[in-house]
Amino acid sequence: MTSGIWIIRVVGVISLLVVTCTASAYGPRVEIDPAVDLIARAWSGYGKRFIQQDGRVQRPRNGGDTVSEGQAYALLIASLLDDRKTFDRVLDWTERHLSRKGRTGDHLLAWHWEPGKGVTDWNSASDADLDYALALITASARWRDERYARKARLVMSDLLNLETEVINRRRYLMPGSWRKGRASYIINPSYSSPAHFRIFFACTGDPRWNDLIEGSYHLIETVSKGFAGVPGVGLVPDWLLLTADGALMRATGFSDRFSWDAIRTPWRLGMDALWFGEDRARQYLDGMSDFYTREWERHGGRFFAEYTYEGTPAQRYERVAAYAMSLSALARSNSPVLPGVLVKLRNAFNKEASLFEGSDDYYTNSLVLLALIFYREGTLPTLDPRNISCR
C-alpha cells in the first residue's frame, strides 16, 4: 500500500470516493445503472425524513431515538457525496451528544440516545466507530481540513485499544468496548471491514490494523465453511461466540441467521475487493454471488431477507436492503440476476417521499444509499491509488 494524499474529483451529478490499488474489481457491466439517478434523490429524501435540523439522525420506527450507527452512516454518506453542510451539522450533534470523552475519557461514541433522556447507554458500538473514523478521514481529504483527520486519529487509537482483542494469537474486532476482557467473546462478523483497516493503517502506521485484517478474514473464511458443528454454505451468522481457544459457537440469545446484520458482510468485503483488489474478498463475493443467483432462479426471480445459516429461507419475505447489500457480490461477477436486482431497487423507490420501501425505515434507506454509492464507484474510480494517506 502506498502513501501520500487522497485525491478526489467530481464525476457526473454526484461525487464519489474510490480507493483502489488495482483496476476496478468489477468486470464488464450491464447497461442498467440506476445509481446516479437515485442517489441524489434518495439522499435528499433521507435528509428530510431522518436528519433533524440540529444534525440528529432519528429512527422513526423506534420512537424517534438515535443510535451511533445512524450518525456514522449519515457522516459517511455525506462525506462520499461531498455534502459538507450536512456533514458538519451531523458531526456537531454527534460530538455534543454522543461523545464519551467526558464520561469514559475516550473518543468513541455512546451507542444509544433517546429524546427527553439523552444518552441511555454509554457503551460503544464498533461498527459505528469504524464508519465514524472513515467518514472523518474522507472529509479531511475531500475538504482539505486537517481538523477532521486529527479527530479520526483519536478515534482510531481508542478503537484499536478498546474495541479489539487478541484471542488465540489473532486480533479480532469486538462489537464494542463492553466485550473486552471476557473468557468468551460475542462477535458480529458484519462489523469487520478490512478495507477500513487498510486505510487506518495508512493513516497511523500501526501494524495492529494489519493483524485485524488477518483476524477478520480468518473469522469470515472459517465461519463460512462451518459453524457450531454444522457445515456451511458460504453464509455468515448475524452473531457468534468465539471461545478463548478459537472455537466458533452459537451465542445464546443472539441471532445465528444470515439476516439483518449479516447481509452487510458482502458490502463490507466488497469495499476491500473494489478498493484494494483483495483476493480473499473476491473469493467470498463470488461464493455469495453464486448463492444469490441460485436463490433467485430457485424462487422465480427473488431472494429473501432472512436465511438460516444452512442456507434455507428462514422467512419468505423480500426487502430492498437485502437486495442492495447483494450488489457488491453480483456486480463483482456480473451475475445474470444483477439487472433484475437493480430493477427491484428502482421499483422500491417511492418518488413522492424520495425514499426506499418504508419511508420510516432509516436502516434500510441507509444501506441502500451506501450500496448504490459503492456500486457506482465500481465503474467510476475517482481516487489515485498511488496517493493514500491521512498522516
Which pTM was predicted? 0.91
Which SS3 state, helix, strand or coil, does residue 99 take? strand
Residue pLDDT, tens place only, 60-77: 999 999 999 999 999 999
Residue pLDDT, tens place only, 93-122: 999 999 999 999 999 999 999 999 999 999
pLDDT at 350 over 60: yes
User: Which one, of 113, 112, 148, lies nearest residue 133 by Cα?
Assistant: 148
Which SS3 state, helix, strand or coil, does residue 313 take? strand
Give the separation between CA 212 and CA 49, rounded to whole angstroms. Answer: 36
Which domains does the chain carry? 10-377 (1.50.10.10)
* Residue 29 backbone dihedrals phi, psi, to 5 degrees: -110, 150
Residue pLDDT, tens place only, 192-210: 999 999 999 999 999 999 9
pLDDT at 31 over 70: no
Which SS3 state, helix, strand or coil, does residue 173 take? strand
The angle formed by the CA atoms of residues 51, 54 and 57, to the nearest 5 degrees, is 30
Residue pLDDT, tens place only, 222-265: 999 999 899 999 999 999 999 999 999 999 999 999 999 999 99
